[in-house]
Amino acid sequence: MEIEFNGVRPLARRQSADLEQSGAIVVRETGEEPQFLLITNKAGDRWLFPKGTIKKSETPEEAAQREALEEAGVAGELLAYVGATVAEDDEERVRVNYFLLREVAHPAQAEDDRRVRWCGAEEAIGLLWSPALRELLKKALPEIMEYV
């Protein structure tokens, strides 16, 4: 038997960041290589993963699923926790926890001010605007491939 211990951490939110968000790394199987879902920000000039604020009535995992549906019109099955990015934004520390989802349906349209793109891993890494997002996907990719 093994144990994994990374330290006892408080359950209260806002202990490590001023703002906690959830994001979705959505994959779909195409027969060749899996494809990753990217969306643009509202200004349309940056490619990223769907993400947003966690509502009081939901878990971080539920928020990731909701954000994928609201922003990209994609429903996803929760597969795993991938990791997090932490950044300074307007003098706040923003932590985004990313969850791996598998596309199960495309029941809605993306938000009007967003573009949606499916692409392979290398293309996704090249398009992501944030160095932290690129690095997160690079590091997680070998383990993500075990889920698809």
- Determine contact, residues 65/24, Cβ cutoff 8 Å: yes
The span from the CA of 38 to the CA of 128, in Å, is 8
Q: In the structure, what pLDDT confidence band is assigned to residue 14 with cuts at 50, 70 and 90? A: very low
Which residue type is seen at 125? I
pLDDT digits (tens, 9 = 90+) for 41-62: 988 899 999 999 999 899 999 9
CATH code at position 86:
3.90.79.10
3-state secondary structure of 133: helix
Q: What is the mean pLDDT of residues 84-109?
A: 87
- pLDDT, residue 31, reads 79
When divided into structural domains, the chain yields a total of 1
- The answer as to whether 87 is a domain residue is yes
The span from the CA of 46 to the CA of 38, in Å, is 10
Rounded to 5 degrees, φ, ψ at 124 are -60, -45
- The answer as to whether 112 is a domain residue is yes
- pLDDT, residue 12, reads 46
- The answer as to whether 12 is a domain residue is no
Distances (CA, A) of 97 to 102, 107, 136, 139: 17, 24, 11, 15
- pLDDT, residue 89, reads 73
- The answer as to whether 6 is a domain residue is no
Residue 145 tokens, joined? 């491939």
Q: What is the mean pLDDT of residues 54-79?
A: 95
